[in-house]
Amino acid sequence: MPRDVLGLRSETVRRANLSAILRELHTHGSLSRSELVARTGLTRSAIRGLIGEFVAAGLMAERRSASDGQPGRPSPQVRLDPGGGVVLALEMAVDSLAASIVGLGGEVLAHRRVDRPRGHFSVDETVADLLQLATSLGWPDRITGEPIGIGVAVVGVVRRSDGFVSIAPNLGWRDVPLGGLLAQAFATTGPVRVANDADLGALAEHRRGAARGHEHVLFISGEVGVGAGLISGGHPLAGAAGFAGEVGHIRVNPNGAACRCGSVGCWETEVGEGALLMRAGRAPGGGRKEVDALLADALAGSPSVLRAVDDVGRWLGVGIASLVNVLNPELIVLGGLFGRLHPFIERTLAAELDRFALAAPRGMVEIAPASLDIDAPLLGAAELAFEPFLADPAQWLRSEVGLRELASA
């Protein structure tokens, strides 16, 4: 084989190995060299050499650990420097805007969420508000660490390739080139990666929350709308353009109510926040305050409220049973409103699944509430922004070019 082809191959292998090591540390935190050997399948000497490259670039540090109880010398502990690379995560939710600066390893270095009334905001106003929010956290000039990207979660249907929002009913948006507008506002020529909030909630719960260690996960999040994110074989499933997971618009009731998407009887018209409030005799547009009051009544044992919650639980079961049949997840994580309802509807849901799902996939699926709470999509946006770096850290390790220059190149 010609020498240059061999060289090319070994360079490809080196880049893949750097990526494997970085991913392990980013996901699992500090690990010993022996643990890295076990997790990556690489040799000790390969691990030592590759870690040396990261250490030289200021992304990792090694520490001799005290005796680990094994005979011989203890294996050095390797950890990422959170300031070695940082990302900006942004979120546009139904009734708040949020920004976080997150370091390598997932450490949140700065965070701010600002409530805003529900309703339709102009795109320009929202982009300006996000810029102000990020600036108040010190992005990009006053942060400690090298900026490597921006990730954005939006409550809408998003094309992944360019962050084009096809529709975001809760914001009143249609056909908005959000990725481009944010790149312009933040004066970055690097990509601003935008994705649907439920897809990013799934990513965060899988990497850092209730779904850690599971390979086949369905994350279903309910607020005003209902969305889902799917992890299949350990990888996010986004569909051809990123539109996958719009489970809220599965038609479950031909005699149901009109949906904001233009159809009738969609799942979210039966299980979304408005449906729950209406079933309990409250104003459907009441928002978070009304939901908090309703949940307090449920906790106090109000029969009418518990009946309303149970109705939502049954309709949830109808949809989830079909999703279990189609997708065969091993774990379903309920986020947002559904996570809060989980203790009240656990038994109803289980009974509905027993009735309506096929026995084989039903028998292996568990249901759990989300563990990252309201910030799951924001943390997922950070993971989205880290992705190019995790996939190919080699290009960032060229010593003659700093990360800051690369990010703005």
Of 49 and 239, the one with the shorter C-beta distance to Zn ion is: 239
Whole-number Å distance between alpha carbons of 260 and 253: 15
Cα maximum dimension of the chain: 78
User: Binding of Zn ion at residue 259 (CB under 5 A)?
Assistant: yes
Kindly give, in sequence order, each residue whose CB lies less than 8 Å from that of residue 275, ignoring residues fewer than 6 positions away.
268, 269, 284, 312, 315
Rounded least distance, CB 246 to Zn ion, Å: 8
- List all residues 6 or more positions away from 61 whose beta carbon is below 8 Å from its beta carbon: 55, 78, 79, 81
Query: Which is closer to Zn ion, CB of 60 or CB of 266?
Result: 266
Show the tokens assigned to 94.
Answer: 């139904």
Choices 55-63, 185-193, 232-240, 261-269; region in contact with Zn ion by CB under 5 A:
261-269
Find the shortest distance in angstroms from Cβ 224 to Zn ion: 12
Task: Give dist(CA 322, CA 267) in Å, integer.
Answer: 12
Q: Would you say 158 or 384 has its CB closer to Zn ion? A: 158
- Output the six-digit token pair for 283: 């104003």
Q: How far is the CB of 194 from Zn ion (least distance, A)?
A: 22
Residues 267, 314 contacting (CB under 8 angstroms): no
Tokens of 204: 């965060």
- Number of residues in contact with Zn ion under rule CB under 5 A: 5
Q: Which of 238, 261, 394, 397 binds Zn ion (CB under 5 A)?
A: 261
Closest CA to 206 of 337, 37, 335: 335
Helix 33-40 vs helix 3-28: crossing angle, to nearest 10: 120
The one segment of 122-130, 249-257, 320-328, 355-363 that binds Zn ion by CB under 5 A: 249-257
* Beta carbon nearer to Zn ion, 108 or 261: 261
Site string for Zn ion, 191-210 (x = CB under 5 A): --------------------
Q: What are phi and psi of 124, to 5 degrees?
A: -60, -40
Backbone φ and ψ of 399, nearest 5°: -65, -25
Q: Does 271 contact Zn ion by CB under 5 A?
A: no
Q: Which of 249, 279, 340, 342 binds Zn ion (CB under 5 A)?
A: 249
Minimum separation from the CB atom of position 355 to Zn ion (A): 25
Nearer to Zn ion, 182 or 266 (CB): 266
Q: How far is the CB of 93 from Zn ion (least distance, A)?
A: 19
Comparison of 10 and 263: residue with beta carbon closer to Zn ion: 263
Smallest gap from Cβ 318 to Zn ion, in A, equals 15
Question: Could you tell me the sign of the dihedral formed by the alpha carbons of 369, 373, 374, 380, in that order?
Answer: negative
Closer by beta carbon to Zn ion, 49 or else 285: 285
Q: Which region among 29-37, 53-61, 259-267, 380-388 touches Zn ion (by CB under 5 A)? A: 259-267
**Taking CB under 5 A as the rule, does residue 263 contact Zn ion?**
yes
Numbers of helices and strands, H then E, in the chain = 14, 16
Scanning the structure block, which residue is given the tokens 């599965």? Answer: 250
Q: At what angle do helices 337-356 and 287-299 cross, to 10 degrees?
A: 60
Question: What angle (nearest 5°) sits at the alpha carbon of residue 257, between those of residues 270 and 92?
Answer: 65
**Which of the ranges 4-12, 17-25, 47-55, 254-262 carries the binding residues for Zn ion, by CB under 5 A?**
254-262
Contact between 275 and Zn ion by CB under 5 A: the answer reads: no
Considering only 21, 266, 271, 334, the residue that binds Zn ion (CB under 5 A) is: 266
Residues found near Zn ion in the complex (CB under 5 A): 249, 259, 261, 263, 266
